[in-house]
Amino acid sequence: MPLAQKISVRRELLVTKIAPKLQNLSKLLETSGEYVAGDKLSYGDVVVFVNLCSLSSGILPGVPTDLLKDYPVLKVYRNRIACIPAIKEFYEKRGEGFRAAFKPDAA
């Protein structure tokens, strides 16, 4: 698929599929506590963190790096996970390229 077509498809998906999912995730986090499954970090939080960071990393043409700007709850959540000492240390050592989006305050 040509790059221009990929960008067009991704922009369409952002509006029709991804934005509603981000809104739902934001609502969930508003009511669930600090993490997706309550007050304790879970595997689900790591999966959500990786997906949010990957989406906003700039590695996908057509997906803006400021994707989370309209989702303040998700920005705070992403940063909370990024500040967990083991995660922060990992990305401080390996935070080159697209992985820079995984560092605290990147989104």
* Residue 81 CA neighbour count, 13 Å, CB half: 27
End-to-end CA gap in the chain:
29
Please give the Cα distance from 22 to 41 (Å, whole number): 19
- Predicted local confidence at residue 38, as pLDDT: 83
* Domain boundaries of the chain, sorted by first residue: 3-102
3-52 pLDDT tens trace: 999 999 999 999 999 999 999 999 999 998 899 998 899 999 999 999 99
Q: Which of 1.20.1050, 3.40.50, 3.30.70, 2.60.40 would CATH assign to domain 3-102? A: 1.20.1050
Give per-residue pLDDT as tens, 54-101.
999 999 999 999 999 999 999 999 999 999 999 999 999 987 888 999
